[in-house]
């Protein structure tokens, strides 16, 4: 999250999206908007949603930019959302490394 927020060159690429991460523990919600990535105070109704379910180990690898959401993960990661929004999240994670 901090890596994305520090990269001011990525700011023009950001659009509103809610990211729901489901690892080994409780789900985590992140809000992506033109200001950056943050923890929302409440669920954002009407925002496009992307949900990623996998192990904590694979979530960490995704956020470090060590793997891509679709090409490297195979069936170990379950995603839901529109293809456009899932590719946006994948690109954002990869570019912020």
* CATH number of the domain bearing residue 59: 3.30.1050.10
Alpha-carbon torsion (53, 95, 91, 36), positive or negative: positive
**Is residue 74 over pLDDT 70?**
no
Q: Which domain holds residue 71?
A: 2-95
The answer to whether the predicted template modeling score (pTM) of the entire model surpasses 0.75 is yes
The count of domains in the chain is 1
Average pLDDT of the chain is: 81
Cross-strand partners of 33: 36
Of residues 56 and 96, the one with the higher pLDDT is 56
pLDDT in tens, 25-46: 888 888 888 878 888 877 666 7
**Is residue 17 over pLDDT 70?**
yes
**Is residue 5 over pLDDT 80?**
no
């Amino acid at each position: 999250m901090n890596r994305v927020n520090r990269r001011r060159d990525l700011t023009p690429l950001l659009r509103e999206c809610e990211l729901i991460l489901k690892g080994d523990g409780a789900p985590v919600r992140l809000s992506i908007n033109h200001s950056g990535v943050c923890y929302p105070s409440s669920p954002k109704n009407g925002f496009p949603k992307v949900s990623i379910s996998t192990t904590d180990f694979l979530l960490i690898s995704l956020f470090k930019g060590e793997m891509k959401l679709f090409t490297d993960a195979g069936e170990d990661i379950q995603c839901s959302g529109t293809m456009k929004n899932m590719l946006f999240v994948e690109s954002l994670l990869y570019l912020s490394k």
